Structure 1
């Protein structure tokens, strides 16, 4: 019967149903065929979202939207351009640096691609950068967002495992910056090779003014991390603090967030949060069926039957997650696969914090893996370039990301050093 569930889900995906509806419809078909009382659906859906830490997700989504609509994106881009614009390929480097700074505000790769790409891709094309390269840089750098804290995906991973949100946030910091720096290095190499343009060096006064413009926005990330790690408030309380802070900064400091625009942001955030909660509810029902049908045990026995070597098992998991990440939304993939694969990883002695970072990094890389990577499609749409051209230009960036993934997989301390330093 598990085959019926999976086949129905696959058919729905191929028919381009939204992921949440694909999960819900496949579960409904399974329950009807099995003769299970349908009261199970609302019960399991509600239990999936009745988790205190999940209340932080609407808050972080709203805080990010408030800062974005308050003019943050342009200020971050301008500041990064002042810092690195004088280097060959400076605008491309500023694109990646902006993603690294913007990461703590948006927390999602797709929103990073859309927000920064809508500004940077046209600007890079205007200055003479190849359009496919501009799109590839934007899509690839957006994967840094959910790795550098705070991250909605990490909150969900913590919810699924019972791990500390603060530890997961810290665990993603070094891998996230390592990925960003690696992308910066490759971009600089290509920019010198192709002789992309550079800007005049900015004065210290311009850099200082740019820092002041972005300071209040970036301080929000510091407040969130210090508050959670220092035990001042829970992740849910941190999200509310972030919303209040974003409102004050947008209304009274940047002054681009009017009351009317704030209402639009609230409504958009409510829609996004509601859609995400429905997805989480259906995914919990889907996971319940998988567990009752003993799929986790089957997958574990198959993988461990192939090999019980830690590195071979991690290689197989990496390949599976990258493949899934190419066509499935990150949070849905986490909800469905993460609990199953975590048991396999624990069986070969992998630390759960370390594995959480590996899994999330895999799914982020999947978003830029051709031919179905979602971020590639978003960037291609903004740049008005074919998906084939963006995929070809993005392939070297994909290889760089895979090297970073290999390092994070093989060197646990890249993920575990900061949590051990500050929270053990």
Structure 2
């Protein structure tokens, strides 16, 4: 009964558009007070959740993404990809996906990707005869590569919660991220092959050479960051710090990062990090309450009595993530469900790395689904398009995303292959 009342209170607050952190915090404080716990004890649970060394990488990776955005790196990637694929039919669709893939090695956030690239990609596609629905759909969908491809902020959070190697989780995410890229490209091919209104351009070797110069230095960033992590030279936190310094140097050398741009990037990173950590902290208090009410044990008993198949367990977990992702922020969901689902996964013999990849993939699809759908709102804002139109544009691209989630569940060796090769 207590859990039901707590759930109803949180659901009502979320429905009233109360920020997720406060929707969790209010009912949790009331619960703690009713069982005789002091406010100081409650706040201790909140602050302890933020005092995590692995989570120290989060603000640095966020800063890395904002600096890359204000240094104009996203625009450089777009210019180079456009010069390379200008003669390909539907080339701008592939350019959008390829640019998102390249920028994902630095951003780690779908929202940052959608904001930085959407304002460049969408107007360019509209000028070349693409429909607004297609332009916003491919731009929003391709941004989901960022939180899957390392350095992934959700992966850092999951690794900290599950006490698994961040480097191993990063390595395991590479194949699914590349699969997402290929799947989105297939959808683009199907959608544009018969559209006569889609324009192509003339190949310009001089433009290709000039644009290539602009991306040579930025492309070293993922080599330094991921190479350092996977090679054992840096911890993820150290790699993020090195990446930040490198992007600042690139911005200065290419004269694209002004002092004003730097300060704006820092401000954005601080604001974003504050939001993430507030959600992590308040969700941790709610997680303590759920553990005290023995919810993990109850769910374990239900799951084991329902199915003995690890595959079915992962399917059910993915479906739960898809549903929760439509109404709650992905960070909050991870903090809440990881401590609950990991013991159950262990009962089924599911590798925690596989579990992490499945949860992250499923949660990211929630960024494209209303009513929360953060990426939908960001894409709509930067393109001046109605939310419904953006969502309809993303529908064809959700299909390969779902197929990839199911493929990872059925063939977990696909995600464990690269960590095994690298000895992680």
1:333 Cα deviation from its structure 2 partner: 1.1
Which residue of structure 2 lines up, in the alignment, with residue 354 of structure 1? 354
Structure-2 separation of matches of 1:394 and 1:238: 34
Could you tell me whether the CA contact under 8 Å between 1:113 and 1:378 is conserved in 2?
yes
Aligned: 1:240 with 2:241: yes
Structure-2 separation of matches of 1:292 and 1:400: 39
Provide the secondary structure at the position in 1 that maps to 2:217: helix
1:48 Cα deviation from its structure 2 partner: 0.7
Which residue of structure 2 lines up, in the alignment, with residue 257 of structure 1? 257
* Superposed counterparts of 1:215-294, under 5 Å: 215-252=216-253, 254-294=254-294
Cα gap change, 1:7/1:375 in structure 2, threshold over 3 Å: closer, same or farther? same
Aligned: 1:33 with 2:17: no
Cα gap change, 1:198/1:127 in structure 2, threshold over 3 Å: closer, same or farther? closer
* 1:261-282: CA deviation from partner (whole Å, max 9, x where unpaired): 2122222212222222222111
Structure-2 separation of matches of 1:134 and 1:8: 39
Which residue of structure 1 lines up, in the alignment, with residue 398 of structure 2? 398
Q: CA RMSD in A?
A: 1.6
Aligned: 1:75 with 2:96: no
1:201 Cα deviation from its structure 2 partner: 4.7
TM-score calculated relative to the size of structure 2: 0.96
Cα gap change, 1:384/1:259 in structure 2, threshold over 3 Å: closer, same or farther? closer
Structure-2 separation of matches of 1:368 and 1:264: 27
Which residue of structure 2 lines up, in the alignment, with residue 342 of structure 1? 342
Which residue of structure 1 lines up, in the alignment, with residue 47 of structure 2? 46
Structure-2 separation of matches of 1:326 and 1:202: 42
Structure-1 separation of matches of 2:111 and 2:272: 13
Between 210-219 and 48-57, the greater mean CA deviation after superposition: 210-219
Unpaired runs of at least 5, structure 2: none
Which residue of structure 1 lines up, in the alignment, with residue 207 of structure 2? 206
Aligned: 1:414 with 2:407: no
* 1:374-403: CA deviation from partner (whole Å, max 9, x where unpaired): 222322333333333332332221112111
Provide the secondary structure at the position in 1 that maps to 2:380: helix
Could you tell me whether the CA contact under 8 Å between 1:87 and 1:198 is conserved in 2?
no
1:308 Cα deviation from its structure 2 partner: 1.5
Could you tell me whether the CA contact under 8 Å between 2:66 and 2:112 is conserved in 1?
no
Structure-2 separation of matches of 1:127 and 1:291: 55
Structure-2 separation of matches of 1:260 and 1:102: 22
TM-score calculated relative to the size of structure 1: 0.96
Could you tell me whether the CA contact under 8 Å between 1:85 and 1:198 is conserved in 2?
no
Could you tell me whether the CA contact under 8 Å between 2:327 and 2:370 is conserved in 1?
no
Structure-1 separation of matches of 2:344 and 2:199: 49
Cα gap change, 1:141/1:282 in structure 2, threshold over 3 Å: closer, same or farther? same
1:203 Cα deviation from its structure 2 partner: 4.3
Could you tell me whether the CA contact under 8 Å between 1:369 and 1:398 is conserved in 2?
no
Which residue of structure 2 lines up, in the alignment, with residue 122 of structure 1? 123
Could you tell me whether the CA contact under 8 Å between 1:136 and 1:391 is conserved in 2?
yes
